[in-house]
């Protein structure tokens, strides 16, 4: 019989609210550790609420898909604690790749971009979750787990625990965790880098819980105190309207894909190439921004005249 896995994300909401209040009070008292702007925090809360609503409306798509697939599983791993732990680790690997695709494929970025839309970095930023995740079809990355014999309810529970873990790392209050912890786990320091718009910080630290995936797959960038993180998007939105934050990239994507005079290949690239790709080279991808930044830095000593 399938054990019952609680809806941990909804259960954690009072904890999220309590920690946000504690962070806010801490920043006010100490005068450091981040900034709060009322309309930014409000937008974050509304985006979080919209994510919950989207889950109620569209969550059944993923659930139905995973349970249908479950009939075709190759093994049945059961429900022991060891299987659950293995499921959690493998699901975190799944998260790493979903998140990496979320930054490298515009179709997936259109859904993920709102998580990066705040120019602040505090616990409310964590609530900026997607409304349109179902449309990215990233549920497909869960297929191997189901076919291997991890029960869909266990997989969804692991995903929920993963999301809860990621809440507390959205803060500037904590500078560094103990060295061993920083080596293995995703931390506020690592995830601040992920939210950076500085070219050298782009496309790094995709980890959910374990930072080891970034180290393994070559996307780890440590936080450099000499280069403070600037938060937000390469091109910031300049809006706090949650509807615009949630849908702007989808609108941009479709208007690019449907513009007249393109080849089929170019239309596909507007949807599937990295964000910033353009058929006429009028925009910059993160790779181009990094290359520009690299050559500027290489040229710096001459310009600086050695001073
Ligand atoms: Zn991201
Ligand atoms: Zn984040």
Q: How many CB atoms lie within 10 A of CB 57?
A: 11
Structural contact between residues 140 and 97, judged by C-beta atoms closer than 8 angstroms: no
Residue-range domain boundaries for the chain: 8-242
3-state secondary structure of 258: coil
Q: How many CB atoms lie within 10 A of CB 28?
A: 10
| Token reading at 216 | 């393994």
pTM of the full structure: 0.94
pLDDT above 80: residue 304: no
Q: Which of 103, 132, 106, 107 shows the shortest CA–CA distance to 116?
A: 103
Q: How many CB atoms lie within 10 A of CB 269?
A: 18
Q: What is the mean pLDDT of residues 262-267?
A: 98
- What's residue 296's pLDDT? 83
Cα–Cα dist 180/1, whole Å:
39
pLDDT above 80: residue 301: no
Q: Which residues of 237-267 are buried (b: 16+ CB within 10 A; e: fewer)?
A: beebebeebbebbbeebeebbeeeeeeeebe
- What's residue 302's pLDDT? 56
- What's residue 203's pLDDT? 98
CA distances from 56 to 24, 51, 102, 156 (A): 30, 9, 22, 14
Cα–Cα dist 246/239, whole Å:
11
Ligand 2: distance of its center to the CA of 218 in Å? Answer: 19
Ligand 1: distance of its center to the CA of 237 in Å? Answer: 16
Give the model confidence (pLDDT) of 182-220 as tens digits. Answer: 999 999 999 999 999 999 999 999 999 999 999 999 999
- What's residue 294's pLDDT? 84
Ligand 2: distance of its center to the CA of 73 in Å? Answer: 33
CA distances from 57 to 43, 79, 122 (A): 21, 29, 28
Beta bridge partners of 295: none
DSSP 33: S
Cα–Cα dist 149/127, whole Å:
31
| Token reading at 90 | 């493998």
Structural contact between residues 128 and 118, judged by C-beta atoms closer than 8 angstroms: yes
Cα–Cα dist 130/138, whole Å:
13
Q: What is the mean pLDDT of residues 298-305?
A: 62
Ligand 2: distance of its center to the CA of 142 in Å? Answer: 21
| Token reading at 169 | 């790392």
Cα–Cα dist 36/121, whole Å:
8
Ligand 2: distance of its center to the CA of 123 in Å? Answer: 9
Give the model confidence (pLDDT) of 100-153 as tens digits. Answer: 999 999 999 999 999 999 999 999 999 999 999 999 999 999 999 999 999 999
Ligand number, closest to the Cα atom of 108: 1
Ligand 2: distance of its center to the CA of 2 in Å? Answer: 32
Q: Which of 102, 113, 115, 223 shows the shortest CA–CA distance to 172?
A: 223
Ligand 1: distance of its center to the CA of 74 in Å? Answer: 33
Structural contact between residues 73 and 149, judged by C-beta atoms closer than 8 angstroms: yes
| Token reading at 218 | 């070559």
Q: What is the mean pLDDT of residues 219-233?
A: 97
Ligand 2: distance of its center to the CA of 172 in Å? Answer: 12
Percent of the chain with pLDDT over 70: 97
Q: Which of 160, 161, 166 shows the shortest CA–CA distance to 63?
A: 160
Crossing angle of helices 264-272 and 242-257, rounded to 10°: 160
Q: How confident is the model at residue 306 (pLDDT cuts 50, 70, 90)?
A: very low
Ligand 1: distance of its center to the CA of 118 in Å? Answer: 12
Helix (H) or strand (E) holding 113: none
Give the model confidence (pLDDT) of 90-102 as tens digits. Answer: 999 999 999 999 9
∠ at Cα 71 (67, 74), nearest 5°? 120
Of 238 and 96, which is predicted with more confidence?
96
pLDDT above 80: residue 305: no
């Amino acid at each position: 019989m399938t054990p019952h896995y609680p809806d941990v994300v909804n259960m954690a909401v009072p904890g999220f609210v309590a920690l946000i209040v504690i962070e806010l009070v801490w920043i006010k008292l100490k005068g450091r550790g981040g900034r709060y702007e009322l309309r930014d925090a409000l937008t974050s809360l509304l985006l979080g609420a919209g994510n919950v609503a989207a889950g109620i409306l569209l969550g059944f798509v993923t659930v139905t898909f995973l349970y249908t697939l479950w009939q075709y599983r190759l093994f049945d791993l059961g429900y022991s604690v060891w299987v659950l732990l293995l499921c959690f680790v493998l699901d975190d690997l799944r998260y790493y790749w979903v998140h990496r695709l979320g930054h490298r494929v515009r179709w997936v970025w259109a859904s993920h971009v709102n998580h990066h839309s705040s120019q602040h970095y505090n616990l409310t930023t964590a609530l900026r979750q997607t409304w349109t995740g179902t449309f990215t079809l990233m549920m497909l990355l869960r297929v191997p787990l189901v076919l291997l014999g991890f029960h869909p309810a266990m997989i969804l529970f692991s995903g929920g625990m993963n999301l809860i873990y990621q809440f507390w790392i959205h803060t500037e209050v904590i500078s560094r965790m103990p060295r061993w912890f920083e080596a293995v786990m995703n931390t506020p320091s690592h995830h601040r880098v992920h939210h950076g718009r500085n070219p050298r910080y782009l496309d790094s630290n995709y980890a959910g819980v374990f930072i080891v995936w970034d180290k393994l797959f070559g996307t780890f960038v440590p936080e450099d105190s000499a280069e403070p993180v600037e938060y937000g998007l390469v091109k910031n939105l300049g809006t706090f309207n949650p509807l615009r934050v949630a849908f702007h990239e989808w609108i941009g994507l479709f208007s690019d894909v449907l513009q007249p005079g393109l080849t089929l290949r170019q239309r596909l690239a507007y949807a599937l190439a990295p964000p910033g790709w353009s058929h006429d080279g009028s925009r910059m991808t993160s790779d181009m921004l990094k290359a520009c930044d690299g050559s500027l830095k290489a040229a710096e000593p001459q310009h600086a005249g050695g001073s």
